Amino acid sequence: MELPNYKDVFKKDKIKTKKFELDPNYKLKYSGKKYFLKTYGCQMNEHDSENIKALLEEMGFTEVEEYKDADLVLLNTCSVRENAHNKAFGMLGRFKHLKEEKKDLVIGLCGCMAQEEGVIKEIKEKYKFVNFIFGTHNIADLPEILDRAINEGKQEIDVKTFSDEIIENIPVRRVSNFKAYVNIIYGCDKFCTYCIVPYTRGREHSRKKEDILREVEALASDGYKEVTLLGQNVNAYGHDLYNDYSFGELLEDVAKTGIPRVRFTTSHPWNFTDKMIDTIAKYPNIMPSIHLPLQSGSDKVLKSMGRRYTKESYLKLFDKMKSKITNCHISTDIIVGFPGETEEDFQETLDVVNHCNYDNAYTFIYSPRENTPAAKFKNQVDEKTKEERLQILNKLVNKYFLENNKKEEGQTLEVLVEGKNEKIDGYYGYSKEMKLVNFTGKNIKIGDLVNVKITKAKTWSLDGNAN
Ligand code: 5AD
Ligand code: SF4
């Protein structure tokens, strides 16, 4: 049993890469058993779930849609805001009820919440019906942990706060056969004062470029149309491995594989280099849609968040991207109600939104997180003020979404078809600019790239026709 320990959060060591191997005996043991997996949080978690599903399936389990039908239920959790945290605990409550009827039900928890000391303490004390827990650094150990929990019949908790290993070749069952996530860097060293991610995902560890490029090439030759390069901060790629190879170079090498669409997320505005901008501008298969979290427009708040940029430097970067990258679309994340945020500070955020008229924005109320510096700041903003600011901000960003979408009316956009839209007897998909497009058309196949003429703009989507 290894428990999360925040003392190890700042530890850093040279990374070893290891290859994954699975004990073939599990398949005989667990064949015919059913599992249910629920995922909360970001794309990183969604992609981890693709590994978790493949591991369980290689152990002999098959997936079911309803948790009530499962022999094993597992939650892949998120800690980023209290909301996600509460949802996971709510779901554990439902699993508890099910276990009262189904005594052999095996209940597991993994993901970011598993890395929190407070969560583990609470589960050990009050959620004794949870059978096993593993963390974000030891997904590859799932088969052994699960097997131990079942055989030994006691709560099995195995969470590492520090890891100096990257395990390659963990099996993956991708949700889509035309778009794929590819991890390039794990963890985050920025320690923004509001953010729990450095505690739950550990220090920055880049994957070797050869491993990344091999994965992208294999996806391209399997007919995948789109890859999204994933990292908590992709800009930091390579600094722990190479002297002269960073994210700009990697992006260029990925573009050169010829895969039709390359995306990446997330970028920190602090070290977004000219090389990155020039590469995005140069390669038509790097999508002109960039996520550039602002968080706040006030220099005072940015400083207290530990963001390492100012309103002025953010706007300078934003304007440079817009001028150098053709058809550049930018989305953002904004937090309102950070400790100490005054009306004037909030107004500065609105000023930036008015300048940037974003194509998309994820807006959040500040949520204090365990062990983060900002949770201990004295000048917390009251809930009512936070709610009011969120509403004002949402109204403003929505106005710009619609205005920007209206500019697409009459244009033809290339859309990657993701699925059917039964309501309109048509389809939906995303354009290069990351616009959600609902459209009708004949002879359309899911996974195709099709040209869609935009007929109507809405706030969060576009309507169109493909013929
Ligand atoms: N409270 C509110 N929002 C947060 N985010 C991260 N931590 C918090 C927090 N404690 C938001 C940031 C980040 C996005 C993924 O979630 O805007 O960019
Ligand atoms: Fe949530 Fe952050 Fe963990 Fe993603 S990395 S699941 S956003 S806490």
The pLDDT value given to residue 404: 97
Average pLDDT for 254-274: 96
Ligand nearest to the CA of 293: 1
> What is the signed CA dihedral for 421, 423, 424, 429, rounded to 10 degrees?
-20
- Residue whose Cα lies nearest atom 12 of ligand 1: it is 333
Ligand 1 in reach of 80 Cβ (< 6 A): yes
Whether residue 7 has pLDDT greater than 90: no
Dist. CA 69–CA 67, nearest whole Å: 5
- 141's tokens: 């150990």
Over residues 196-226, the pLDDT tens digits come to: 999 999 999 999 999 999 999 999 999 999 9
Over residues 101-159, the pLDDT tens digits come to: 999 999 999 999 999 999 999 999 999 999 999 999 999 999 999 999 999 989 999 99
Which one is predicted more confidently, 52 or 24?
52
Helix, strand, coil share (%) of the chain residues, nearest 5: 40, 25, 40
What sign has the CA pseudo-torsion 153, 157, 163, 169?
positive
Q: What are the counts of helices (DSSP H) followed by strands (DSSP E) for the chain?
A: 13, 21
- 82's tokens: 């209290």
Ligand nearest to the CA of 305: 1
**Is the distance from CB of 334 to CB of 364 less than 8 angstroms?**
yes
User: Which protein residues touch ligand 2 with a CB less than 6 Å away?
Assistant: 41-42, 44-45, 78-80, 111-112, 196-197, 200-201
Over residues 332-379, the pLDDT tens digits come to: 999 999 999 999 999 999 999 999 999 999 999 999 999 999 999 999
The DSSP element (H or E) to which 52 belongs, if any, is helix 43-58
Instruction: Find the 112 Cα to ligand 2 centroid distance in Å.
Output: 6
Instruction: Find the 153 Cα to ligand 2 centroid distance in Å.
Output: 30
Probe ligand 1: pick from 195, 265, 295, 358, max atoms within 8 Å of CB? Answer: 195
Q: Which residues contact 116 (CB under 8 A, 6 or more apart)?
A: 4, 79, 196, 199, 200, 370, 371
Ligand 1 in reach of 195 Cβ (< 6 A): yes
Find out whether the peptide bond into 266 is cis, omega within 30 degrees of 0: yes
* Alpha helices, H only, 61-158: 82-101, 117-126, 142-152
- The predicted model scores a pTM of 0.95
